[in-house]
Structure 1
């Protein structure tokens, strides 16, 4: 499995005015030709809220390009990349086909799928579509995150090439369905928690949900 990057983006937090409120966000990323990918993310790529964004388990955000076409058709408007705050976008790597723990080469770097994305209202605000966040959660078309196993330079011409698949029970989409729609499915969640490569923050959320 190999997919060429369609976009490579980084950004810094900036002030945005949404519905009359000023908010700080780094969702408005810009394209770049070449950048160093470190364990904490791309050099020069920053987040505004470290509780929900960034860090070693969320070093790289990917959003499948196919979803752009769906949202454009559904909402009858264009979405200009990177509309979803993603670092990279590719084709043929949908959430249903990518598994937690999948390991890829990306330019000189090596990355591993760590978790799906828990999107926030910034996506709707940035794209000026109030119902977009709800539809992303409903469908599970969230995109997903990678941790970095080996640092290295990534260019806009780089490809994601699968080099190892740890398991084929829990795709990103299946994980999203459990997170957003099936938090009380104890037996399946307990099985999901056995996936060593699943990000700690997701494990903690599931454990807390089962305890309540």
Structure 2
């Protein structure tokens, strides 16, 4: 399996709040990089920063990936053309939709090695960027979330080099994690997802909370 990098982006925090609002610092408005190669460290592409380091970035969310295939749907649904990078991703990719990639998939990308750690959880900053309050809800409903990569080996990466699948250790797709997290009421499914060693601890924490709520219901 090869995932093609169509475009890549990095950003620096800026205030995206409206006038008279409390400041909201975010790097969701990323800039397309024209370079053919960049250094990928354990915390992300060179030049990329996060405005909220508690909820974004870090080792488990070093690179945000979004599938190109979803853009046609969003352009139709939102009735406006969306350029690549509109979801604040670092990589707009082809042939890597959520159904086809598994949590824990390991890819060789140039001199680096990366691994899928979790889906991308849509937050209010996506809504803020596009002026659509329900956009995070729409992302959860469709499962068109994108996902994050952790960096197992840092190194120079090149835009024209695909992410080449080197190892698949689980059968838990990113789409399945989204479905279980947002739509399942089956404790067994949640427990099965929690057994996935490659799933990030932050995502597991959310699943534990959901599981406890379900068990307290019964």
Instruction: Give the shorter-chain TM-score range.
Output: over 0.9
Aligned twin of 2:216: none
Q: Deviations over 1:126-172 (max 9, x none)?
A: 1223332221011111100011011011222121111111122x110
Runs of 4+ residues over 6 Å off in structure 1: none
Q: Deviations over 1:47-85 (max 9, x none)?
A: 111121001000111000011110001111011221001
User: In structure 2, which of residues 65, 68, 78 is the aligned counterpart of residue 62 of structure 1?
Assistant: 65
Kindly indicate whether residue 11 of structure 2 is the aligned counterpart of residue 11 of structure 1.
yes
Q: Distance in 2 between matches of 1:27 and 1:200?
A: 23
Aligned twin of 2:175: 173
Range that drifts further, 6-15 or 21-30: 21-30
Q: How many residues align?
A: 210
Kindly indicate whether residue 74 of structure 2 is the aligned counterpart of residue 71 of structure 1.
yes
Normalising to structure 1: TM-score of the pair?
A: 0.94
Which stretches in structure 1 are left out of the alignment for 5+ residues? none
Q: Distance in 1 between matches of 2:140 and 2:18?
A: 21
Q: Deviations over 1:57-114 (max 9, x none)?
A: 0011100001111000111101122100100011111101111100111121110000
- Aligned-residue CA RMSD (Å): 1.4
Which stretches in structure 2 are left out of the alignment for 5+ residues? 214-218
